Structure 1
Amino acid sequence: MGILNVSDGPTWSSDLDLPEDIPRDTPEAEFSVTFLALMILSGLTVTTNSLILATFYVEKKLRTYNNCYIFNMSVADLVVGLLCMPILSMIHLFGSWPFGKVASILFMGFQNSILGVSVCGVVVVCIDRYLATFYPIQHYQGRSIHKATVVNILTWVSSFGVWMMVTSAWDFIKPTNLVISSGLSRPNYSLTNTASLLVFLLRFGLPFLLMTGLYIRIYIKVKNIGSKHLSKYFNREGKNGKGQAKSASQDKEKRSLGTRLRDKLGSKTSLTYDENTTVSSISMDMTSDEGTTKNLGSPETDNEHSLNGEKKSTNNYPKPIGLSGDDEDISTSKSNVVSKKPKRESRVEGRKAMRTMTMIVLVFILTWLPTAVSVTMYALAPGFYRTLNKSINLSEITRWIAFSNSLVNPLAYAMAQPLFRLTITRMLCRPRRKP
């Protein structure tokens, strides 16, 4: 049924054991609304994934480490819409599988393998986000585009290696003449409930448990980190408030002291001070009517003025910013700090990756859950499953719902990352002008 090709019972093929001298009927194509709907679904899948892949070509900002895994999943989903969906739609056009037994066995292996690449892609995204959350420094220092490319290649090699062996190689080594209701060759692993459940666990059960477990741990970790940052923020704000209140009281005290001194010394007295001024270092310049200058306060200020009231240039005055050697050292240190590479990914990048993972995990669960229910029903209550399958064609419905994962994934990327939406809008609404 469904992706696992579990049928409602063994059905013997009508053309596998016929002698070669007996002519065989060639199925005739008969157009149907179902075939049209499935072809539209295939076209939408190809269009959406092609747009996602085009954004990587147009917008260089999307070519990040995290998006390399999105690129890999988009390629797999494009192949599903470009090959698997149209070929499978031919069953509804011709009324049965029209390409023979060998092609049926190879197609079943290819179909399961390419779907496995998509599932492996989701698992890889979850594992990568787990490492980035719990081991941020090691993950950031070790990640690279080359590493992501190698991981993507391994998802294809492992998926095709496993599923071509389980589906196609087993059927070629031990061939049977059984077919399912759609005309496809019935694989050997579907002949027993135990083997069907093991394949289903490999297809959906284990990935689902792994994704769910990792996501829950990541969510708890991120939530705890957010709570710590929030508490630190409020503590810092409280300390800043106390510091500002203390600074305001000191400033008020200085101003009141300066006012009292000015009242005692006369109206022509000018008082200068800054935030770091203390009572012992307050200096006042009193200019008399005769133009002489008197200095009160620290004795060091006596050398800063001449008898005729003109200031001398001394080394005690601060130099303008940018001219002194100390300022050059400060600017150099600042440039070094700016150019220093970060030790972990930014919060913006982390939130974006978390949103993307949330969307693709949610889409995976929603599109593969009907298949999970169907397989469980077949294993626990086969009689009820066969009755239900004959009435509403449950296996076909769950199969295409699982295929729709390849259509919804690009929508999830666009919802999680606004740059995908902006790039697609720019490509569609603002085409490049010819020179």
Structure 2
Amino acid sequence: MMHKRMKKLVSIVLCGTMLLGLTACSKGGDSGKKEGGTTEIVFWHSYSGATEEALQSIINDYNEGRGKEKNIHVELVYQGYEGTDKLTLAYQTKDYDNAPDINVGLTSTIPSVMEMGWSVSAEELMKDSDSEITKDSFYEQLQRACSYQGEMAAIPFSNSVPLLYYNVDMLKEAGFTEPPKTMDELVDYVKALTVKEGDEVTRYGLNMQVKRYQLMQFCVSQNKDSFFGDNEGGRTDVMTKVTAGEDGTMKAFLEKLQALLETGGYKYMEDDINEEFAQGLSAMVIMSSSRLGTMDELMGEKYMTAYIPKVNESDTNGAAVGGSCLNIVDRQDEDRLKAAWDVVQYCVSPENQYTFATASGYIPVNVECEELEEMQKYYEEKPQYKVALDQMKDADAMSQESFDPTYNEINGIITDAMLEFCQGTLDVDETVEKIVSGCNASLDEYHAAN
């Protein structure tokens, strides 16, 4: 079991540091105590704008209420997307003083985070009889998004799905009463919505750049067996190769994308996708539901959202969850760990998920949140937000982003190959071959070194 292996690693680390006279346990404990016996919890995050403000509001309420009652105080620290890298470095150097108790990390990094001896399995914490949350507090799709090797390793938090955003007036003017449901329909819509002056496109029908996450999305959405990589996309065991070339899902998507390119109205590079869509330079865009708050500010009620189009009309899996989760770190102080877990539970309560989700566009992760009267009223007023939740609930729980251990490198390989494809340098088969061989070489190199 993964948990037993982690316990063993923690014991080895403790023995080694104690032999060196570093007294790691007391370091972690002392640095977490303030005057009066208050336990200080360090919470690393990557948010900005309205999302950061919403999290700060939740933490302020915690510190003034529940935290004060329990002698716990939370310090929010912005780390950007480098938080997980900094957490890894702190672990490698056994720097307990400069590590967080809670870290916001991409769900795709869960395997590497759980290899650290001080990362705690969320499932183990939820088994405690005093825990306010269980696995069933979260949607099945989110449980699986945060699961690795049969355990729910982290807690869902800022999770999203890709959506089709469309300009309501532009679709009406083109004679459409509803958004496209398949990529074949999408081609027809793009043709009708594209505007040209001579040879120059003044309005694109669609803007979307295909990188790692987008390509995975359209591959795994096709059927229950369409994982991007082996071992169920790296969830039952470490991913060693890309399988989307073998099962035909990558080719199927690229063929549909080729038809989009041939319209001349598909913009395959993202420059300033939010602003361009708001200014009417694109009639439709495909991007994360986490952009909803931004689009509200830019466009008000001039846009709506829909499910991403299916690659094939017969596709059954649906959209895959993306975004980040909460990793819990054991800094060798039982009081700190309990306090950190208390903070995590507070953050994912239905009421606080309402605050967080409505400010950001992220999906409310607690199943009870959508039953709140204020959440239902919000969805009535802003139906574009509910589309994200509905699309996730309608998707098969097996439709998930892969846990590829070299995700940054793989993103670069896919991004470069897709640009060559869109520019006409590579055909469909050549693109599949370049992506598969490049990603597999990256994975081979990783496994040889580890």
TM-score, normalised via structure 1 length? 0.20
Greater helix proportion: 1
Greater strand proportion: 2
| Max Rg structure | 1
